[in-house]
Amino acid sequence: MAATVFDSAIFRDTFATPAMREIFSEPATVARYVEVEVALAQVEARLGIIPQDAADSIKRLASAKDIDLPQLRQATNVVGYPIVGLVAQLAKQCGAAGRYLHWGATTQDIMDTAVVLQIKAALAIVERDLAAIDGALTELAKTFRGTVMAGRTHLQHALPITFGYKAAVWLSAVLRHRRRLEEIKPRLLVGQFAGAAGTLASLGDKGLAVHDALMRELGLGSAAMPWHVGRDNVAEAVSLLALITGSLAKIATDIMLMMQTEVAEAFEPFEEGRGSSSTMPQKRNPIACELIIAAARIVRQQAGLMFDAMAADHERATGPWHLEWLAVPEAFLATGAALAQARAMLEGLIVEPERMRRNLELTGGAIVAEAVMMALAAYTGRQEAHHILAHASRSALANGRPLLAELEREDKVTKHLDAARLRQLTDPANYLGSALAMVDRLLAGRGRASG
């Protein structure tokens, strides 16, 4: 019976996707173990280490789907690891050829290489969804490049920005993650085959030949040194997932805040019943955002476990490795869910430019007080200009007047800046700094990189 949200009949598609769950499912994990064992027999036969007919029989007869999982569980409970019990069952399947299974290998060789194969498949999903999110954010940045809205610092109106600029900030992080993903592959997609203490002693002078041939057979890279007690590569993979989901959580946090009733500047795509309340019929909750943020926190915790797992003792760890059995699958499952939620949300995001404009005007032009201050500073000095504008802004807000009206009453301002200049300075669309150029530069660079 399911006991966690990842395999729950109720929650499973909320905290994971079917595709990612399939990669790390128990049948798929066992199938990867068998794949590595069969590949090992094939390359050892080609190198003259075991008989070719034995390797042929192993390839033909070894069957992951015929593994008795309850029996494997019992053996694992006794041994502490699954490979001894697995090899025993495979040996029975393969008859006389079974004596040549697992030749020169150790448990961790099989499990580590299998998990790298799983990670390789899982990263393909991550890569696909990041590319789709890249596309959605690129479209938002282009479409709303000039859509002026309030930029907020400390949750308060700060200076004008555009929604395209905000989307481009999100996009810049996604682009960095896509580069990180490419950069990590040569370090991460490397198999493990090193024998009992990492020296391949049981294979004599053919150890490295078997190692390299096995990795070619499996489509993985070869390691110069064994990494069974050097776990930085797997820890880096989960750390990358934490970075990716952290950036998705930042996007989700922004959109969640923009969905507030009082703000109403952007919304998750509408779906009948999505985000509804069991008692308040008017509610439209930011459910995708909530799930993304929750998933990001799950992944962050798993990244912490991976750092604990790095403290392996001597040439075979006495326990830290076990943490990875929990952390790696759950990190990928939660990441897959976060990516799927973010992709659907961003591809269908509802943006409200008119509401952005109305919110921009809430402070009666105070959001561009800095623009007037900088123009006035040329005549009065910055500190005096800051004092004048701070006083004018407080007075305008207190009296319910637009900042422009307040400034037009202030002699210290009007003797330096005429009415036309003040109108120009208090229009938020005229105080975007380099925001549009930044968006253009990011999009141009993205085009060159993808071409």
What is the rounded distance in angstroms from the CA atom of residue 230 to the CA atom of residue 116? Answer: 14
> Which amino acid is residue 395, in one-letter code?
S
What is the rounded distance in angstroms from the CA atom of residue 161 to the CA atom of residue 182? Answer: 32
β-pairing verdict for 156-162 and 350-351 = unpaired
345 strand-pairing partners: none
What is the rounded distance in angstroms from the CA atom of residue 294 to the CA atom of residue 342? Answer: 12
3-state secondary structure of 190: strand
Residue 132: its H or E element: helix 107-143
The dihedrals phi and psi of 149, each to the nearest 5 degrees, come to -150, 175
Region of 198 please: left (phi>0), alpha (psi -120 to 50) or beta.
Answer: left
Active site residues: 154, 277
Q: Longest C-alpha distance within the chain, in Å?
A: 102
Asked if residues 121 and 422 have their Cβ atoms less than 8 Å apart, the reply is no
- The DSSP call for residue 221 is B
